[in-house]
Structure 1
Amino acid sequence: MRKIQLAVVPGDGVGKEVVPAAIDVLHTVAEVHGGFQFEFTEFPWNSDYYVEHGKMMPDDGINILSAYEGVFLGSIGNAKLVPDRVSTWDFIIKIRREFEQSINLRPAKYFKGLKSPLVNPRDFDLVVVRENSEGEYSQVGGRIYKGEDELAIQNAIFSRKGSERAMRFAFELARKRRNHVTSATKSNGIFHSMPFWDEVFDEVKKDYQDVDTAAYHIDALTAYFVTRPETLDVVVASNLFGDILSDLGGAILGSIGIAPAANINLNGKYPSMFEPVHGSAPDIYGKGIANPIGQIWTAKMMLDQFGFEDAGSLLLDSIGDVIESGFVTPDLGGKASTTEVAEEIARIFKEKAK
């Protein structure tokens, strides 16, 4: 029996509701599947912790988390208590950088019964592979002068190692899917970094002759996410472009409440982190109506990462069945509670596993 040690950070707002619901589902998955079980250790690090201690986590927080095989995060952020730039940079990005989580993975898939804002979703099923460690989100730069002469400089950092790492991950993933990789670029407008990105992509694809490729400028590609998302399979992009595209992927799903994400460490030195992208949603916290599907789909991605892809696929099928049945939370037009939806997913999973 493999025991998987996970650090759990419910975080702020609805994270404290959807994380327990997803953990219950994971226990069911482990019980039914057999061969593994999860052991969860919860940490109370969030905006309230910041108010009390003046920091988002203890000084040795990173060292504490490093002892676990994965971090299962709910949501971080409460702008009334902590500026978003603090909660983001001092917690989420701190973990991503120090744990060398160089890949951010964000799928977007149409489910029957889901009210996508697209008139004809045409069963799109895509995933954005976002370079997660450098690019436009570097901390290199600064500000000088005051008044009308004030100047801000933000340097984007693109290394061959970081770019190639993301691209090879995308190609390997495409081989497990529909054998197509699309590169997001803007080499007609950004003078240095994007031509460099294109050159690295052209070099990498030579090692994957069995995988079809395309490269689109980011402005055209954002349009394709809306007009023809069914033609996209794996999309690889820089940090900023990947962030924008993956949020657009969440939008065409029909609800940000079901969008998952994973921050992947590739070298095995540190844990990966798994988090939905819906945020803390303080306006509905405490009402019991937060959609748990984003957290549960995130759990599916965690199962995949640990090598239990068969259980992960069955869990995603169970999510699809629940959505198609209409037994969903109010954000998807239903009347079910957070707990009820999670229990229904677990019930269907059991039935499918028989």
Structure 2
Amino acid sequence: MVRDDAPRPHRLGLLEGDGIGPEIVPAAADVLDAAMAAVGGPGIEWVRLPVGRAAIDTHGTSLPAETVEALEALEGWLLGPHDSAAYPEPHRSQLNPSGALRKHFDLFANIRPAKSLEGADAVVEGADLVIARENTEGFYADRNTHAGTGEFMPTPDVAMAMGIITRPAVERIARQAFELARERRGHVTVVHKANVLRLTTGMFHDICREVAEDYPDVVVDDFHIDAMAAHLVRRAADFDVIVAENMFGDILSDLAGELVGSLGLAPSINVSTRHGMAQAAHGSAPDIAGRDIANPIAMLLSGAMLLQWLGARHGTTRLGEAATRIDAAVASTVRAGTRTADMGGQAGTRAFAGAVADAVR
């Protein structure tokens, strides 16, 4: 019997989404393909799956059951932005595709880096931080209950929302943050509002401090959310890993993205213990869709984060090497003066991604 030892390609999902998604997601896939080829890896088999407005038109839902079923068999995927505000009813009032996938797959950690790029006209220079955002509960009502949402109206004139904090959720995002810090500069900052929300964010703060005892090599400090926003503006370069509940983490990561250049540069990955979803932090930008002017950097870097996560999960160095090549190629391309319109350049989406792919090779 002849044994087949040829490495098999990595099967990853490709969900383009809405607006600029069909432009930036394929661009990211091309760059990931180039990076895997450059490191001699087995390559990627892309599994295209319907999602978003196009899926409403073809399947009657923004997130078809066949898409979710296919993703169950995959370890990771690229998800483009969604424009759920423009969906027809009843789809507009339902949980959007991103939130539904995070909830279904228990993607509890939303990891959002913010790093200044030379040539990106950053508001603050020298920033290199990561926000570890708890992704399943907190003060975002769309994903903090088992069924339905945490918002309700007992009368037409009263609207209420529940903010839910649980020990297991805080412990696992805290450990994610401390493990990240050990790989970086060994500093974790806990964000809370324990002076006002004493029981909820107070418990978040206390549990993070308890987890910190298992990481004596990591420096820990903490700030109230309002003070933290000011500290990011004044001295973003001083922070390493920031851990926060859902809403606080979302707000801080958008602020950090703008401080280092724009949300067009802001990548993210959503992970559980089994699945990883690469998703740019920005929206679908329908006003520029189809014009080949969207900045694909956030999606490219999100794809690199997915490769890095897969490499760490499997102990595979080539995936990490491919991710490092993409990060370096994006930085060198911007530094060399090739930039999209939002960064003051003239390169289109395809041209910029092509330049990054050339740099990767």
Settle same-fold status: TM greater than 0.5: yes
The answer for the alignment partner of 1:126 in structure 2 is 129
Measure the CA separation in 1 of the matches of 2:174 and 2:308. Answer: 19
Asked if the contact 1:164/1:204 (under 8 Å) is kept, the reply is yes
Q: How does 1:92-131 map to 2 (within 5 A)?
A: 92-116=98-122, 118=123, 121-131=124-134
Asked if the contact 1:78/1:280 (under 8 Å) is kept, the reply is no
**Equivalent position amino acid for 1:162 in 2:** A
Measure how far apart 1:191 and its partner are.
Answer: 2.5
Asked if the contact 2:233/2:259 (under 8 Å) is kept, the reply is yes
Distance 1:52 1:315, change over 3 A: closer
Measure the CA separation in 2 of the matches of 1:2 and 1:88. Answer: 38
Among 341, 346, 356, the alignment partner of 1:345 is: 356
- The reply on whether 1:241 has 2:259 as its aligned counterpart is no
Measure the CA separation in 2 of the matches of 1:63 and 1:87. Answer: 23
Measure how far apart 1:90 and its partner are.
Answer: 3.6
- Computed over aligned residues only, the root mean square deviation of the Cα atoms, in angstroms, reads 1.7
Asked if the contact 2:51/2:67 (under 8 Å) is kept, the reply is no
Q: Secondary structure at the match of 2:242?
A: strand
Asked if the contact 2:138/2:164 (under 8 Å) is kept, the reply is yes
The answer for the alignment partner of 1:314 in structure 2 is 325
**Equivalent position amino acid for 2:132 in 1:** V
| Farther off after superposition, 224-233 or 38-47 | 38-47
Give the percent of matched residue pairs that are identical in Structure 1 and Structure 2.
37
Measure the CA separation in 1 of the matches of 2:193 and 2:347. Answer: 44
Measure how far apart 1:122 and its partner are.
Answer: 3.2
TM-score by length of 2: 0.90
The answer for the alignment partner of 1:297 in structure 2 is 301
Asked if the contact 2:53/2:62 (under 8 Å) is kept, the reply is yes
Measure how far apart 1:255 and its partner are.
Answer: 1.8
Q: How does 1:12-161 map to 2 (within 5 A)?
A: 12-51=18-57, 53-77=59-83, 79-82=85-88, 86=92, 89-116=95-122, 118=123, 121-137=124-140, 138=144, 139-146=149-156, 150-161=157-168
Measure the CA separation in 2 of the matches of 1:76 and 1:321. Answer: 30
The answer for the alignment partner of 2:316 in structure 1 is none
Q: Secondary structure at the match of 2:78?
A: strand
Distance 1:87 1:284, change over 3 A: farther
Q: Deviations over 1:242-264 (max 9, x none)?
A: 01111111111212112111110
- The reply on whether 1:197 has 2:204 as its aligned counterpart is yes
**Equivalent position amino acid for 1:31 in 2:** A
Asked if the contact 1:77/1:87 (under 8 Å) is kept, the reply is no
**Equivalent position amino acid for 2:63 in 1:** M
Q: Secondary structure at the match of 1:235?
A: strand
**Equivalent position amino acid for 1:197 in 2:** F
Distance 1:50 1:304, change over 3 A: same
Q: Deviations over 1:40-84 (max 9, x none)?
A: 011232213324544212234322221112121111115333479
Measure the CA separation in 1 of the matches of 2:348 and 2:279. Answer: 21
Structure 2 gap ranges (5+): 1-6, 312-318
Q: Secondary structure at the match of 1:36?
A: coil
**Equivalent position amino acid for 1:134 in 2:** E
Measure how far apart 1:35 and its partner are.
Answer: 2.8
The answer for the alignment partner of 2:314 in structure 1 is none
**Equivalent position amino acid for 1:169 in 2:** Q
**Equivalent position amino acid for 1:340 in 2:** A
Q: Secondary structure at the match of 1:17?
A: helix
Asked if the contact 2:267/2:298 (under 8 Å) is kept, the reply is yes
The answer for the alignment partner of 2:186 in structure 1 is 179
Measure the CA separation in 2 of the matches of 1:221 and 1:110. Answer: 19
- The reply on whether 1:163 has 2:170 as its aligned counterpart is yes
**Equivalent position amino acid for 2:307 in 1:** L
Distance 1:294 1:84, change over 3 A: farther
Measure the CA separation in 2 of the matches of 1:335 and 1:60. Answer: 40
Q: Secondary structure at the match of 1:89?
A: coil
Asked if the contact 1:57/1:91 (under 8 Å) is kept, the reply is yes
Measure the CA separation in 1 of the matches of 2:91 and 2:250. Answer: 16
Among 331, 335, 339, the alignment partner of 1:328 is: 339
Asked if the contact 1:182/1:234 (under 8 Å) is kept, the reply is yes
- The reply on whether 1:232 has 2:239 as its aligned counterpart is yes
Poorly superposed stretches of 4+, deviation over 6 Å: none
Q: Deviations over 1:265-293 (max 9, x none)?
A: 12x2xx22111122111111111111111
The answer for the alignment partner of 1:7 in structure 2 is 13
Distance 1:136 1:85, change over 3 A: farther
Measure the CA separation in 2 of the matches of 1:83 and 1:251. Answer: 32
**Equivalent position amino acid for 1:20 in 2:** P
Distance 1:100 1:286, change over 3 A: same
Q: Secondary structure at the match of 1:127?
A: strand
**Equivalent position amino acid for 1:328 in 2:** R
User: Aligned pair count?
Assistant: 341
**Equivalent position amino acid for 2:353 in 1:** A
